[in-house]
Amino acid sequence: MDRLDNTIRPYAWGSPTAIPHLLGVEPTGEPQAEMWMGAHPGAPSRTARGSLVEVIDANPRAELGEEAVAKFGPRLPFLLKILAAGAPLSLQVHPNLEQAKEGYADEEHRGIPVDAPHRNYKDANHKPELICALTEFDGLCGFRDPVQAADLLAGLGVDSLKPYVDLLHAHPEAAALREVLTAILSADPEEMARTVAEATAAATRLGGDYAPYADIAHHYPGDPGVIAAMLLNHVRLQPGEALFLGAGIPHAYLNGLGVEIMANSDNVLRCGLTPKHVDVPELLRIVRFEASDPGVLRPEASPDGEEVYETPIDEFRLSRYVLPEGTAAHDLTLGTPQILLCTAGSVRAGDHDLGPGQSVFVPAGEKAEVSGAGTIFRATVIA
């Protein structure tokens, strides 16, 4: 197996302290948002044999296994991250596989450069995600019941929000949510900025259920995404709890440290809380306008101690082992590729000693024994 040397991405919303604290190093003073583990071409992990992209390209079947190559092609189909949100990320949705293929082909046909700021589809893949909290973790996930959203907006006492409140009481539910989100994102920018300012003052004064939205507005003053965010469920994960984010589900991470895994894609449609391009017509085509429970996941334990976060897709499978002091070594050998990530304690994986934030890549079929006292996450695929 290969020890991984991983890139940390310094996005502006990142916490300057959470990842350094996990790694046991001094903060640099700059935001450290994500540490990437995998073979994403933008920042592949490095090994003693070269980048993980180079390692896999040299012999895909040996590294990934015959079944994974047959199902996903000669590439690692997931990207594993440690994510540290110190400020809210953009409010966003991801396309399903068919939408991604169509959108990518259309933009390629129209000759839109892949790095153009108004480009929506960077590739032809979908991007389901799973976030597992390492600390208390706040996020937004899926639409509230429209009547509950109406009550939340009405409670602010802002006159310019009344039309949205009335729309949310209309039927059917999907049409009500679509009309309100469309109205918010299409509103006159100056009028919306005034509405957001009034709503922010009221949310700050009221606190309680309004506190997360007041904090969002502090980071994104005047942004229509502040009002759009109030249509969504606020969820607070405790360590070990997770959220699965499927296609078309609007979401945003707000604060906290977690392990994230996703299909290897860069396709994002933004709804707000960002200075980046918001393509309203395409966004409305992708969003699933239905109220839903956030669906907090807790791992299901198997007899051998593996705790699995069950999801409905095959590009990734995330589980963890919490190893008490003195337990026997666990044999994690699989016929599919794995990344093993230590998040607490001290774990030995093969010949490698891993501390928090350290990881290894295990080629398909290679012997993988772990021991020690700590927590290790296992990322693989279902082939």
> Annotated catalytic sites, by residue?
270
Give the helix/strand (H/E) hosting 270: strand 269-272
- Asked if 356 and 344 count as a contact pair (C-beta separation under 8 A), the reply is yes
Task: State how far the Cα of 272 lies from the Cα of 296, in Å rounded to an integer.
Answer: 24
Closest CA to 261 of 277, 283, 245: 245
3-class DSSP assignment, residue 12: coil
Quote the DSSP letter at residue 221.
T
Amino acid of residue 9: R
CA angle (45, 49, 55) in 5-degree steps = 65
Q: What are phi and psi of 307, to 5 degrees?
A: -110, 115
- Asked if 161 and 227 count as a contact pair (C-beta separation under 8 A), the reply is yes
Strand partners, 85: 14, 256
3-class DSSP assignment, residue 346: strand
Strand partners, 371: 348
Quote the crossing angle between the two packed helices 146-154 and 173-186, to the nearest 10°.
Answer: 40
Using CA of residue 157, residue 158, residue 163, residue 165, what is the dihedral sign?
negative
